[in-house]
């Protein structure tokens, strides 16, 4: 009787010790994980690339907005609408502000510059247009009361237009 209990006890212990996975089960899990990974990897990669491009465009757009705000603030301070203080062009604007500083905005390649210093990159177009007190387009410096700045930004296939109308103070 004792030997029967001992055999039964040993056989129960043997059954309890076989709690692992078989080689076939492990191989099946690896195959299934491989299939799922090969399906998910391209989607994860595309999402990552899209997010990266979006971040780049956001940075470029933020820089352009900051540059446009600075231009707007400084253009408002044009000392006078005379040929001595204001030189107008389609893609270049030079003026003297109330502190007698001469400021030039221009497009150099794909860079918006202020006195030669880069303010924004990826600028594909910079257009200045000039209006008189009635809002009519003018090329006469002494009649300029408003300056419209139009800027086109392109990065990674995305294009954005920015536009601002600036009223000149004390003119």
Q: Which residue has the tokens 């303010």?
A: 119
Q: Residue 56: what pLDDT?
A: 83
Would 9 be classed as within a structural domain?
no
pLDDT band at 12 (very low <50, low <70, confident <90, very high): low
pTM, two decimal places: 0.70
In a domain, 155, yes or no: yes
| Measured distance CA(110)–CA(163) in Å, rounded | 17
Q: Is residue 89 part of a domain?
A: yes
Q: Is residue 11 part of a domain?
A: no
Residue 145: inside a domain: yes
**Contact yes or no for 129/143 (Cβ under 8 A):** no
In this predicted structure, the answer to whether residue 13 has a pLDDT above a threshold of 80 is: no
Strand duo 117-120 + 123-131: pairing: unpaired
19 falls within a domain: no
Both structure tokens of 6: 């001992």
The tally of domains found in the chain comes to: 1
**Average pLDDT for 65-78:** 93
CA torsion, ordered 163, 148, 168, 68, to nearest 10 deg: 40
Q: Do residues 148 and 47 lie in contact, with contact meaning Cβ atoms separated by under 8 Å?
A: no
Higher pLDDT, 133 or 14: 133
Q: Does 90 map to a domain?
A: yes
User: Domain residues for 143?
Assistant: 24-167
49 confidence band (pLDDT: 50, 70, 90): confident
Residue 53 falls inside a structural domain: yes
Give pLDDT, residue 59. 84
User: d(Cα 128, Cα 146) in Å, to the nearest integer?
Assistant: 10
């Amino acid at each position: 009787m004792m030997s029967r209990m001992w055999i039964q006890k040993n056989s129960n212990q043997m059954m309890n010790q076989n709690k692992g996975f078989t080689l076939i089960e492990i191989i099946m899990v690896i195959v299934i994980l491989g299939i799922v990974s090969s399906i998910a990897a391209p989607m994860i990669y595309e999402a990552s690339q899209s997010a990266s491009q979006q971040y780049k465009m956001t940075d470029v757009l933020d820089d352009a907005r900051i540059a446009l705000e600075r231009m707007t603030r400084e253009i408002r301070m044009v000392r006078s609408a005379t040929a001595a203080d204001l030189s107008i062009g389609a893609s270049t604007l030079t003026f003297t502000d109330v502190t007698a500083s001469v400021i030039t905005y221009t497009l150099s390649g794909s860079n918006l510059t202020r006195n030669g210093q880069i303010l924004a990159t990826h600028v594909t177009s910079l257009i200045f247009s000039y209006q008189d007190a009635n809002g009519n387009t003018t090329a006469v410096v002494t009649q300029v009361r408003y300056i419209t700045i139009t800027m086109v930004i392109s990065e990674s296939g995305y294009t954005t237009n920015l536009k601002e109308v600036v009223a000149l103070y004390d003119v």
